Amino acid sequence: MQTEWAEQIPHIKTTLRDLRALAKEEQVVGEKPKGKKSFQWRLHRNVSLDLVLTPTESMTLLAMLQHSERFGFKLVTKQLVTLRDYALGVITRNSKQDLIAQGRITSGTRFMTLLPGIYDPAHLDIIQAALLADHSLTMVYKPRDAEDAECTYLLKPLALSFQDSNIYLSAYVESEQWPSGEPAAGTSRGKYSSNGPGMTCVLMLHRVVSVSTSFFGHSRPKKLPVRFIRYPERSHDRPRPG
Note the pLDDT tens digit of each residue in 109-167: 665 566 677 889 899 889 999 999 999 999 999 988 777 788 999 999 999 888 777 88
Helix residue ranges, H only, the chain? 2-7, 12-24, 55-70, 78-94, 121-133
Determine the average pLDDT of the residues in 208-228. 67
CB 161, CB 106: distance < 8 Å = yes
- Kindly state the percentage of the chain with pLDDT values over 70: 69
Residue 239 has pLDDT above 80, yes or no: no
Name the nearest CA neighbour of 209 among 152, 127, 147, 141: 141
Helix residue ranges, H only, 76-189? 78-94, 121-133
Residue 206 has pLDDT above 80, yes or no: yes
Distances (CA, A) of 213 to 153, 157, 182, 218: 12, 11, 24, 12
Note the pLDDT tens digit of each residue in 86-106: 888 888 888 888 887 787 887
Name the nearest CA neighbour of 22 among 38, 39, 6: 39
**Strand runs labelled E in the chain:** 28-31, 40-43, 105-108, 136-141, 151-163, 166-177, 200-204, 208-214
pTM of the model: 0.59
Distances (CA, A) of 79 to 19, 21, 45, 86, 100: 24, 25, 11, 11, 21
The residues with which 176 forms a beta bridge, in sequence order, are 153
174 vs 115, higher pLDDT: 174
Q: What is the three-class DSSP state of 102?
A: coil
pLDDT bracket for residue 3 (50, 70, 90): very low
What is the distance between the alpha carbons of residues 145 and 143, in angstroms, rounded to a whole number?
A: 6
Burial of 154 (0-12, 13-18, 19+ CB in 10 A): buried
